[in-house]
Amino acid sequence: NTSCTGQVVPNYFGCQDDTSRALPYCDSSLSIDDRFENFKSILTLSEKILLISPQEELGNTCNCHTGNIDRIGLPQFMWLTETNTAVASSCIKKGQCASEFSGPMSLGASFNKTSWYLKGHVFGTEQRAYMNINWHRGTGLNDYIGLT
């Protein structure tokens, strides 16, 4: 995959290759719990650490790029950048930006679980939309929005 500038675009999509699709963690007919247990059981301790540790050679460590695990078809991923008050992205064009919400402290203080759910629903919809158009955060190369 390449962008319109010819730069290689990382594949942040999980369960997209034959290796991963052959494993239970990518079997959508299984429960989330079963898929997670399988995923957890096939990782080594060093792989688990890799998945929660930023890898500076993959990009900006503030965006926490984590390494890929080829043997199970897991691509690199960027985490801890999304959805505190908005989906972290640049605007598509003037007036077409991610929805902006109050921060976690004020939302939590509302004790309104419906608003928490709705905020998450909006974030999920916007992240999928940005991912589907291969959009970026506007913070540098390889800072694309992806979901697994």
* 3-class DSSP state of 18: helix
Does residue 14 register a pLDDT over 50?
yes
Which two three-digit tokens encode residue 129?
A: 């939309």
The whole-number pLDDT of residue 2 equals: 45
pLDDT bracket for residue 148 (50, 70, 90): very low
Beta-bridge partners for 2: 8
Query: What does the angle CA 120 – CA 123 – CA 124 come to, to the nearest 5 degrees?
Result: 85
| CA pair distance 67, 47, nearest whole angstrom | 9
Predicted TM-score (pTM) of the model is: 0.52
pLDDT category at 126 given cuts 50, 70, 90 is confident
Q: Which of 68, 91, 92, 65 is nearest to 79 (CA)?
A: 65
Give me the pLDDT at residue 139, please. Answer: 64
